[in-house]
Amino acid sequence: MSAILHRKTDTVPPAVAQADGLWVTDSDGRRYLDAVSGGAAVSAIGHRDERVRDAILRQFDAVSYAHGSFFTSEPAEELAAYLVGKAPAGLSKVVFCSGGSEAVETALKLARQYWVERGEPGRGKIIARRQSYHGATLGALSVGGNLPRRALYEPLLFEAELIAPCYAYRERREDETERDYGLRAAAELEDAILRLGPETVAAFIAEPVVVGATLGCAPAVDGYLSEVRAICDRYGVLLILDEIMCGSGRTGYRFAFEEDGVVPDIVTVAKGLGGGFVPMGATLVHDRIADAIAAGSGALAHGFTYMGHALACAAALAVQRAVDEDGLVAAAAASGTALRRMLEASLGQHRHVGDIRGRGLFIGIELVADRETKAPFDPAAKLHAVVKASAMENGLMIYPSGGTIDGRAGDHILLAPALNAREDELAEIVARLGRSLDAALETLK
């Protein structure tokens, strides 16, 4: 019996007991190879790290917590300076929180406050994308485009304008280049802004690489984000990029958007920021937002109890330093290439693998019933759930999801191993994945 209201009321998942590197052990002694960094692209430097442990203990002996309305702290200041130092020029201030959803709430509230400070209180609408996920809290869910996740809560949500995601595998026509497709997809943003009236739109929020949970790492195609940036600039709309899952080095860039050559007005990070050692999130803001607030009310209208938690900041700082000391951003690029090559070799011609995509160590595999027509499996078969169970059987942690195409049909598998995964571990992931997938497909026959 468990006193926890678990995700499935009729099952208690295995209890995790111990973990080291990419290996997780449950309380029955079963070992799992972790191909998704703790389950959701979190444990970016693997499980356990002496440097992080030391930093946590040191901070614990000094001070763990004091509320931000009384004190700042050395680790919080240092971490903020560290993040800003790694960000492109212009992104100069940080607001901390404890996770991804909170970082998104912070971003939305900052965008709104910016327009009020600027004397344009009419700007309150948010444009987001279908099939996106920005978090579980009501504000983040309101701008999330994954309809099944929203449906239950619909009466509690505010209305956001949803446009198409950048999803080349299904949306690019065969007579159009990726770039032309990207421009066409981005044009939906302009249409939406004009439909709503630019003077009512506060911000556009998107992920540079669409989240695993909902679209299986469909990356922005070449030219898409720079066109989005240009459209936002044309109408004065703020650009919020959600890098909670794809950021912190995972794509082989410190910030995924660097590959696209754009600088957003607001960025959210979490997950890999604290590397799973502590709950941690952050919202980075551009000068123009910080300056507008300073020049206006001079006060942040938003706050959490755990905003700049000293112990959490010390841990996250140690994680980020470890990422740089160990050269893990470059490693993610190289390992991402290696993993992609192995996946192509082992699954590229698989009759039920429609697409292998993503960036760096953030990879999605879309499963299809028929490669030729790209027809998905019957959603009732819940292939993604069968694959997950089969992988756990085979001692492999992966992150499969359903509803890839429209929230209802489609299945994909997300892989996001720790940035310091070794080549032999990547090979083992691919081997176990192949076995798990085939075993899962066998049960559907």
Partner 1 sequence: MKAAGRLDDLREAYVRNHPESCARHERAQAWMPGGNTRSVLHFDPFPLVIASGRADMLTDVDGYEYIDCAGEFSAGLYGHSDPVIVAALHEVLDNGLVLSGPNTAESELAELLCRRFPSLERLRFCNSGTEANLFALLTAIDATGRKRVLVFEDAYHGGVLTFAGGGSPMNVPFDFVTASFNDIESARASVKRHEDDLAAILVEPLLGAAGNIPAEAAFLAMLREEATRCGAVLIFDEVKTSRLGRAGLQGHYGIVPDMTTLGKNISARACPLAHSAARGP
Residue numbers at the binding site for ligand PLP (CB under 6 A): 40, 99-101, 104, 133-136, 207, 211, 213, 242, 244-245, 270
Residue 7 binds which of partner 1, ligand PLP, none (CB < 5-8 A, kind-dependent): none
Please tell me the total number of residues recorded for the chain in this structure.
Answer: 445
Whether the CB-CB separation of 267 and 243 falls below 8 Å is answered with yes
Record the tokens describing residue 308, joined without a space.
């700049």
Record the tokens describing residue 49, joined without a space.
């790290």
If the CB atoms of residues 178 and 428 are measured against partner 1, the closer one turns out to be 178
**Considering only residues 26, 74, 120, 180, which one is a binding residue for partner 1 as defined by CB under 8 A?**
180
Q: How many helices and strands (H and E) does the chain possess?
A: 14, 15
- Residue 152 makes CB contacts below 8 A (sequence gap 6+) with none
Total residues interacting with partner 1, rule: CB under 8 A: 10
Q: How far is the CB of 82 from ligand PLP (least distance, A)?
A: 20
Q: How far is the CB of 341 from ligand PLP (least distance, A)?
A: 26
Q: How far is the CB of 126 from partner 1 (least distance, A)?
A: 32
- Residue 343 makes CB contacts below 8 A (sequence gap 6+) with 356, 363, 365, 415, 430, 433
Residue 416 binds which of ligand PLP, partner 1, none (CB < 5-8 A, kind-dependent): none
If the CB atoms of residues 86 and 371 are measured against partner 1, the closer one turns out to be 371
Return the SS3 of 373.
coil
If the CB atoms of residues 177 and 297 are measured against partner 1, the closer one turns out to be 177
Task: Scan residues 347-376 and list those touching partner 1 (CB under 8 A).
Answer: 372
**Residue 337 near partner 1 by CB under 8 A:** no
In the 8-state DSSP scheme, what is residue 200? G
Record the tokens describing residue 65, joined without a space.
């917590």
Phi, psi angle pair for 272, to nearest 5°: -60, -15
Return the SS3 of 122.
coil
Give the separation between CA 284 and CA 215, rounded to whole angstroms: 25
Task: Tell me which residue has its CB nearest to ligand PLP.
Answer: 100
Q: Which of 23, 75, 35, 116 is nearest to 417 (CA)?
A: 35
If the CB atoms of residues 50 and 372 are measured against partner 1, the closer one turns out to be 372
Residue 333 binds which of ligand PLP, partner 1, none (CB < 5-8 A, kind-dependent): none
Interaxial angle between packed helices 100-117 and 287-295, expressed in degrees from 0 to 180 and rounded to the nearest 10? 50
Stretch that binds partner 1, among 56-64, 88-96, 173-181, 259-267 (CB under 8 A): 173-181
In the 8-state DSSP scheme, what is residue 93? E
Residue 270 binds which of ligand PLP, partner 1, none (CB < 5-8 A, kind-dependent): ligand PLP
If the CB atoms of residues 28 and 372 are measured against partner 1, the closer one turns out to be 372
Residue 177 binds which of ligand PLP, partner 1, none (CB < 5-8 A, kind-dependent): partner 1
Kindly list the residues in this chain that would bind partner 1 in the complex (CB under 8 A).
172-178, 180-181, 372
